[in-house]
Amino acid sequence: MEEPELVVEGNLTWLKRDGVDVAIISDCDSVSFSQQGSPFTFAEIKAIYFAMKEMYDLED
């Protein structure tokens, strides 16, 4: 399995692995993520989610 690729376009940020997009969408006000049909593990998505929350200093 290849390493995930972080894609940033404007205010959208998401991950791609093995050609599959995994939505991690940031608009600086909220962060959402989806694992449905994802080649990423929940632990990977959770770690990135919290890293992005910290990066954007978001409240729960």
pLDDT tens-place values along the chain, 60 residues long: 667 777 777 666 777 777 777 666 565 555 555 556 666 666 777 777 777 777 766 555
Q: Which domain holds residue 32?
A: 5-56
Structure confidence at residue 57 (pLDDT): 65
DSSP structure class, residue 2:
P
The per-residue pLDDT for 35 is: 55
What pTM did the predictor assign?
0.37
> Using CB atoms within 10 A of its CB, is residue 1 exposed (0-12), middle (13-18) or buried (19+)?
exposed
What integer pLDDT is reported at residue 52 of this predicted model? 73
Q: Which amino acid is at 2?
A: E
Domain total in the chain: 1
pLDDT recorded at residue 37? 61
- Identify the three-state secondary structure at position 12: strand
